[in-house]
A and B are shown apart, each in its own frame.
Chain A
């Protein structure tokens, strides 16, 4: 090497070191993001079919809770009407997302990411300043309490203090004893979020799901205000639900799609590919052509049944 270049090289190296982002900010997640629905689209866009528990490691308790669910509850019980998704489900729902970086005004150090979703004005804060989670006696919230740590360019997030909500929007509940971890990875304009839910009440194994988002700087996010209202007269002690063994809708999904009834009941074994070797044959054949939710979202289309 020609020694005359050494001083310049030293300056370049020093500059590179000085200009390199700190290890705690190797990815910047701030900006507007739009969800992509190539994964689990029927579940996420039109919503899951009643009785479809396939791929969910449901406990027996969770399955009976789901079977007892009557969708009337979210309208008849006024307090349910304006509930947002919880922190784990909001990353999976339909809403756009804005991520704001919260910085220390003096040091500019990244203190937190603040999330706002375009549905029910859901908000969530992911603390990155090393603070501890609240006491077990503290109140729970829909979003829970989230803290994040960096592992290279992956943001690992742990969330506790969640309210009871749902694993799927067809009555599969999520208890207030659950926690979840996330792994956020940015690839250019794409964001992948892997979510691992642990629920000792409803699930027998961790439930792993992933969602992808695309950067969408053009989106705007307005208000989405919800007001509860009594929609039907009801007795104060009336809560819609199905008594055990009486829900007429739990077999629909197997009938409509030609699936083995046992598979639609869920359970840890239905998560794994090996289950196909042992699962029973369906009672009815699959329909010859798509009959439900066939073109959801295609070219801006809605979700007509056919």
Chain B
């Protein structure tokens, strides 16, 4: 387990680094950009993973907290949208480019009458807790500080919902997709889905097999997102989707991404049926027509890694 947690931290740190490289010349994270998605829901780009923000009279709800290095800039962006207390932080999964700002968000909540609740699926809490340094024998203090930033408002059911800023906000657990603890957040009134790293329109999905991710779960989660989305006139707009990384999207973009994964999975599965070894499958380059669209020199997930994740997921189901 410890090995898994260690690999999770290392891998996710690399994800953040690869997908949001620092401005090496200036030694600082890239500038953030905020776009209004719909009504009082916004997307903030550039803080590591994408961040979704809902504002209103009840306060501020944030989905994901970016990476640690960007959190000051992220809080500044959130404060431009609203000075109200940040009441809810939802983590879509446990990777540091999405939970790296948790502790700073927790410290920013200074009003004990309006505390910050950090929510996530229980698998996220388990993994983040396991990554903490062990309690020393006889240690009796520091417990509260130790819990700071953890999503202790966790859920274990298939869904969880709350009404905030007069809007129904629904959390869906997507089992064994990108990881085993993914949450998709639906802002039902504003018609916005925050997808986390299940959906990365410009990059192959990071199916984190070591932490419970599978290609079948990834496809199922994308199909569920497609059930939540209803396109607008001429099949565009309508429900908007904030991906874990990459530009703002809608249903049509999710369809292209889902289709790509299904087609690659079918190719790998066909090769496995022909008793090809993993090395032979990799050499056959079953993603070669999609690579120019989904792989750049800065990509964290290269073609071979995606093929390996698909292969391992299918092999486990044999």
Contact = CB atoms under 8 A, between A and B. Distances in A.
Interface string A160-174: 000110000000000
B291 interface: yes
Interface string B34-73: 0100000001010000000000000000000000000000
A120 interface: yes
B133 interface: no
Given A77-B259, A120-B234, A139-B247, A83 B252 contact: yes
Contacts of B234: 82-84, 120-123, 142
B255 interface: yes
A62 B292 CA distance: 10
A140 B253 contact: yes
A121 B233 contact: yes
B98 to A, nearest CB: 17
**Nearest 3 CB-CB pairs, A to B?**
A64-B289, A139-B248, A61-B289
Contact of A139 (B250, B270, B291, B292): B250
B236 A138 contact: no
A83 B259 contact: no
Interface in A157-213: 163-164, 175-177, 200-201
Interface string A55-89: 00001111111001000010001011011100000
B293 interface: yes
Interface in A105-164: 120-123, 135-142, 163-164
Contacts, number: 101
B220 A137 contact: no
B293 A142 contact: no
B226 interface: yes
Contacts of A140: 247, 249, 253
Nearest to A63: B289
A175 B256 CA distance: 10
A137 B248 contact: yes
A236 B220 CA distance: 8
The CB with the most chain A CB atoms within 10 A, among B219, B234, B256, is that of B234
Given A121-B233, A137-B45, A142-B234, A201 B292 contact: yes
A241 interface: yes
Contacts of B291: 61
B231 interface: yes
Contacts of A274: none
A243 B268 CA distance: 10
A139 B240 contact: yes
A239 interface: yes
A137 B33 contact: yes
24 contacts: A61-B289, A61-B291, A61-B292, A68-B263, A79-B226, A79-B231, A79-B255, A82-B234, A83-B234, A83-B235, A84-B234, A84-B235, A120-B234, A122-B234, A135-B35, A139-B247, A139-B248, A164-B252, A176-B201, A176-B256, A177-B293, A239-B258, A239-B266, A243-B266
The CB with the most chain B CB atoms within 10 A, among A238, A239, A243, is that of A239
Contacts of B45: 137
Interface of A: 59-65, 68, 73, 77, 79-80, 82-84, 120-123, 135-142, 163-164, 175-177, 200-201, 236-239, 241, 243-244
Interface in B177-218: 201, 216
A61 B285 CA distance: 11
A77 B258 CA distance: 11
B223 interface: yes
A60 B45 CA distance: 33
A73 B256 CA distance: 12
A61 B288 contact: yes
B270 A80 contact: no
B221 to A, nearest CB: 11
Contacts of B288: 60-61, 64
Contacts of A175: 293
Contacts of A120: 234
Contacts of A239: 258-259, 262-263, 266
B156 interface: no
